[in-house]
């Protein structure tokens, strides 16, 4: 029996009624832990009534970053796969991971005692293609049954289009009162959804006239009595729609999902659109996700070989900049080798030499991005995009960390620019700012490091050491000891590196951990490696995924069933 995980999103209006927003398949399972949300009673009934002995789970390595799941106890995350395997040990559970970028869902053989649960998108399926993909179809379906079941809506289409907005201008005070969405799903949220504020009938008329055939205009509902710690929220149900009779079960308890940031008393607009920095307050998905290769923001002051300080905007190919030959640092941009670089403090501080390197390439893009500010001992401040690599001291060793993964217990390696003396600085605090920023990819050769000055003063004295490589995006789990380490990029060949090897993509090991159960991850694609021959399947003392093998194209991973 085939089934598909289906999510519907809602918002609660000021009269207490729920308005339906959209329907999704190919969905990310937002909660970090499944058990508190899972409707086991109804799912068990589904299994028993259909004599299910096997579950094929077609999972999707797609997720949402930065979630605080208030149902998680003691920080224990457990994704869908891990939960199913733990909860139903007597069922045969097969896992297939599908790349979100490919949208290619394998066709599995159905059988009487098998339940195929599809998390991924399937363009040949009715629910997916008609109602998840096409918001026009979904909204029209609901509108025709109950005009009040959705927010007031306008879109232009010869057969599906309707206008329930009319001349109504919702009064949200100074806050946005309409939102423009796209008809079909998107992955780049830089522009849409777009909240706007409309004041006059003429503005509303003009806005409607500007809505093209692939856009939807809806009233933007704000319910000030339904905030979560000042944050706007939506509601989500996840059900399992199954069988040729289109039956369903409420698989998850409904949950709320807030926007990242709380709303403020004032709203900044550019014309009638909210400014970029307001987007995390008013929409859940508000930026592009994959910016792995960008390693500098526009305000960084980089030291040239003549001692002058320049921002990336003022750097050109073949410019000579100051650099440092770090003790034992391999000459490579390979993320794995950068990650594995680990040296004693004394070796680095006494065995490194300052030199020059050359700008090999530099490019930029302008986009909404989170900038992290780190405030260090002595009043120093450094700010950068999350994926830039910075030299730190952690657990007694000097190594590189992506800026976003620097822990507050780390120490930052800084250098006095007047005498090139290395110093360690503790972190006092951090803050974040969301802004539209020109961010840069800087590649330097022959030495792969460049030096960035502090941003706390107009006469900076100290700099940090940055590597031009990208952060690790392919991880493997080693046991024992239970640690994550950076792996070679997909596809991997050759013998296993260790008796327990699991490789996943993700920008940090927490992403990989979540992917264990395909809960929430931020990955380019799943990547895995064949479980070693001879592993007896004995359980290590922590939850581990099943043996997994890599398909030839590394597009999806197949549970080898060797457990």
Residues that bind other proteins (CB under 8 A): 6, 8, 10, 12, 18, 20, 23, 30-32, 36-37, 64, 66-71, 126-127, 131, 141-142, 145, 149, 228-229, 231, 233, 235, 237, 239, 241, 245-248, 250, 253-262, 264, 266-272, 275, 277-278, 280, 284, 370, 373, 430-435
Q: Which is nearer to other proteins, 182 or 272 (CB)?
A: 272
Q: In terms of CB distance, is 54 or 210 closer to other proteins?
A: 210
* Cα-based angle 339, 343, 348 (whole degrees, multiple of 5): 120
Of 340, 364, 344, the closest CA to residue 352 belongs to 344
- Whichever of 228 and 416 has its CB closer to other proteins, that residue is 228
In angstroms, what is the minimal distance from the CB of 137 to other proteins? 10
Half-sphere exposure for 30 (CA within 13 Å, toward CB): 26
What pairing do the DSSP bridges indicate for beta strands 411-416 and 389-394? antiparallel
Beta strand pairing status for 353-376 and 421-445?
antiparallel
Whichever of 113 and 199 has its CB closer to other proteins, that residue is: 199
Between vectors from CA 517 to CA 281 and to CA 514, what angle results, nearest 5°? 45
Chain centroid to Cα 103, Å, comes to 18
| Closer Cβ to other proteins, 3 or 505, answer by number | 3
Q: Which is nearer to other proteins, 247 or 446 (CB)?
A: 247
Q: In the beta sheet, which residues pair with residue 437?
A: 367
Give whichever of 6 and 487 is closer to other proteins, judged by the CB atom. Answer: 6
Residues 63/520, Cβ–Cβ less than 8 Å: yes
DSSP string for 453-486 = E-SS-SS--EEEEEESSPPP-EEEEETTTTEEEE
Q: How far is the CB of 377 from other proteins (least distance, A)?
A: 20
Shortest distance, position 259 Cβ to other proteins, whole Å: 6
Distance of closest approach, residue 165 Cβ to other proteins, in angstroms? 22
Q: How far is the CB of 245 from other proteins (least distance, A)?
A: 7
CB of 382 to other proteins, least distance (A): 15
Distance separating alpha carbons of residues 109 and 467, to the nearest angstrom:
49
Q: Considering the complex, what minimum distance in angstroms separates the CB of residue 325 from other proteins?
A: 35
SS3 293: coil
The DSSP element (H or E) to which 8 belongs, if any, is strand 2-12
């Amino acid at each position: 029996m085939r089934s598909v995980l289906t999510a519907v999103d809602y918002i609660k209006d000021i009269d207490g009624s729920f308005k339906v927003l959209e329907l999704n398949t190919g969905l990310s399972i937002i909660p970090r832990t499944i058990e508190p949300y899972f409707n086991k009673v109804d799912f068990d009934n589904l299994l028993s009534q259909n004599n299910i002995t096997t579950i094929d789970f077609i999972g999707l390595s797609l997720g949402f970053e930065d979630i605080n799941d208030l149902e998680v106890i003691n920080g224990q995350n457990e994704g869908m796969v891990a939960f199913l395997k733990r909860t139903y040990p007597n069922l045969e559970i097969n896992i297939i991971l599908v790349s979100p970028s490919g949208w290619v869902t394998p066709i599995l053989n159905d059988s009487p005692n098998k339940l195929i649960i599809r998390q991924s998108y399937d363009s040949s399926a009715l629910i997916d293609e008609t109602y998840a993909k096409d918001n026009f179809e979904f909204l029209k379906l609901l509108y025709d049954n109950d005009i009040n079941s959705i927010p007031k809506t306008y879109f232009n289409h010869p057969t599906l289009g309707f206008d329930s907005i009319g001349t109504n201008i919702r009064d949200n005070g100074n806050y946005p009162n309409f939102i423009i969405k796209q008809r079909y799903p998107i992955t780049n949220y830089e522009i849409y959804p777009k909240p706007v504020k409309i004041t006059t009938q003429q503005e509303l008329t003009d806005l409607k006239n500007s809505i093209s055939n692939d856009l939807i205009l809806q009233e933007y509902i704000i319910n000030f009595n339904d905030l979560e710690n000042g944050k706007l929220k939506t509601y989500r149900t996840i059900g399992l729609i199954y069988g040729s009779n289109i039956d369903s079960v409420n698989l998850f308890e409904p949950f709320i999902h807030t926007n990242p940031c709380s709303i403020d008393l004032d709203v900044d607009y550019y014309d009638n659109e909210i400014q970029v920095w307001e987007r995390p307050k008013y929409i859940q998905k508000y930026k592009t996700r994959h910016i792995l290769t960008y390693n500098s923001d526009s305000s960084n002051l980089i030291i040239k070989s003549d001692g002058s300080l320049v921002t990336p905007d003022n750097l050109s190919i073949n410019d000579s900049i100051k650099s440092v030959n770090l003790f034992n640092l391999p000459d490579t941009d390979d993320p794995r080798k950068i990650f594995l670089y680990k040296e004693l403090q004394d070796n680095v501080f006494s065995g490194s030499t300052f030199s020059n390197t050359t700008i090999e390439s530099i490019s930029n893009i302008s986009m909404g991005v989170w900038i992290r500010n780190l405030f260090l001992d002595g009043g120093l401040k450094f700010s950068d995009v999350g994926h830039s690599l910075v030299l730190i001291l952690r657990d007694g060793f000097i190594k590189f960390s992506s800026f976003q993964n620097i822990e507050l217990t780390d120490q930052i390696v800084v250098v006095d620019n007047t005498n090139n003396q290395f110093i360690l600085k503790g972190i006092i605090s951090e803050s974040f700012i969301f802004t539209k920023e020109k961010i840069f990819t800087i590649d330097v050769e022959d030495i792969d490091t460049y030096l960035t000055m502090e941003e706390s003063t107009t006469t900076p004295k100290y700099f940090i050491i940055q590597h031009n490589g990208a952060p690790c995006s392919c991880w493997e789990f080693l046991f024992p000891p239970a640690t994550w380490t950076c792996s070679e990029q997909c596809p991997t060949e050759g013998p296993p590196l260790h008796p327990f090897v699991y490789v996943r993509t993700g920008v940090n090991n927490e992403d990989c951990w979540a992917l264990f159960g395909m809960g929430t991850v931020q990955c380019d694609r799943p990547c895995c490696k064949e479980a070693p021959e001879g592993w007896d399947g004995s359980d290590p003392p922590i939850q581990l995924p099943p043996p997994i093998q890599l398909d030839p194209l590394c597009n999806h991973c197949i549970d080898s069933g060797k457990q």
